[in-house]
Homo-oligomer: A and B are copies of this chain.
Amino acid sequence: MAMTAATPRTKTEDDITNEVLRRFDATSDPRLRQIMQSLVTHLHAFVRDVALTEAEWMAGIEFLTATGHKSTGNRQEFILLSDTLGVSALVNILASHPTESTTPSLLGPFFRENAPMLKTGDTIAPRDKGEAIEMVGKVTDKAGKPIAGALIDIWQTGSDGLYDIQGDKPEVMDLRGRFLTEKDGTYRIRTALPIGYGIPMDGPVGKMLTAGSREGRRPAHVHFLVKAQGYEPLITHVFLEGDQCLTSDAVFGVKDELVSRVEGHDEAVMADGKRASGPWHVMTYDFQMKPGTGVVPQPLLSAAE
């Protein structure tokens, strides 16, 4: 073994962070360098701030590992973690331009590509026994000019509070569909009245929420992804007015302007001329699109599958 003089540095609490930052100085991608150095700075500040003990650090390692192991196939526990810590909502707000389009909201983990193409007035919930609701509205640009042929992707939970991929036939697409707007920009979709539901509480994130005396409820909502040639894709939720959980959404997705009025009806014939089988509802919501490239960021789509 060579006996050259070594100059190791004593690592104190104060200089360890600088040493880690220095190691990322040679990162060739300047954006990656910025992200890693900021991450190290804030992560170390957190550890110092609470004087994290070795046992607590190990509990954190075990929590992250369990979160990774719970993320398989139809379940993404790290997205749920990000959602429940408000990180997803913050990223979403930073990316949004509310003055230029309808306010976006989270994509969530339940989007699926290639949902069935349906026609104006069709139902996306043919097997659901819940009360019926018609969702109607118009897709326009910010000035109100109708956008014909916009592709509306819509998905939601059934009356049991579950998305299709959470049920017993995850391979069958249900409670979702794609619609094209008419020449005047309007859409009309029949479905089952969405209800509030609980996020999955049987994993590490559920344990974290329980330890924090937090609830895992989400208010009733419908997901929309609207695409049109020459416009930025719009990913958002529309929430149903009156839900008890609008102020306590477990994933912080609610924004005032995304809450829609819902009219209750009990006439024998519904607005679309079909016979009602019980009380029915109408939700009206218009979408405003921002000019752009029309391309959905690929990582968002691939991860949602």
Contact = CB atoms under 8 A, between A and B. Distances in A.
B16 A89 contact: yes
A255 B11 CA distance: 6
A99 interface: no
Interface stretch (A51-59, A140-148, A166-174): A51-59
Interface string A84-118: 01111111111100000000000000000000000
A262 B1 contact: yes
Given A38-B46, A42-B49, A65 B71 contact: yes
A47 interface: yes
A102 to B, nearest CB: 14
Interface string A1-43: 1111011111111001101100110111100111110111111
Contacts of A43: 42, 46, 85, 87
Question: Which of A26, A41, A86 has the most chain B CB atoms closer than 10 A to its own CB?
Answer: A86
Given A68-B69, A87-B43, A193 B1 contact: yes
A271 interface: no
A214 interface: yes
A15 to B, nearest CB: 10
A148 B45 CA distance: 41
Most buried by B among A8, A79, A95, A220: A8
Nearest to A82: B61
A269 interface: no
A11 B193 CA distance: 26
A86 B19 contact: yes
A214 B35 contact: no
B12 A58 contact: no
A251 to B, nearest CB: 10
Interface stretch (A155-163, A177-185, A242-250): A242-250
A78 interface: yes
Contact of A252 (B19, B26, B59, B69): B19
Given A8-B256, A27-B212, A49-B42, A90 B300 contact: no
Contact of A299 (B11, B58, B68): B58
Contact of A300 (B55, B262, B299): B55
B79 A56 contact: no
Contacts of A45: 42
Given A78-B65, A240-B1, A303 B58 contact: yes
11 contacts: A1-B193, A4-B244, A7-B247, A8-B247, A8-B255, A27-B212, A38-B50, A54-B92, A55-B300, A58-B299, A61-B82
Interface of A: 1-4, 6-13, 16-17, 19-20, 23-24, 26-29, 32-36, 38-59, 61-62, 64-65, 67-69, 71, 76, 78-79, 82, 85-95, 193, 208, 211-214, 220, 239-244, 246-247, 252, 254-257, 259, 262, 264, 281, 297-300, 303
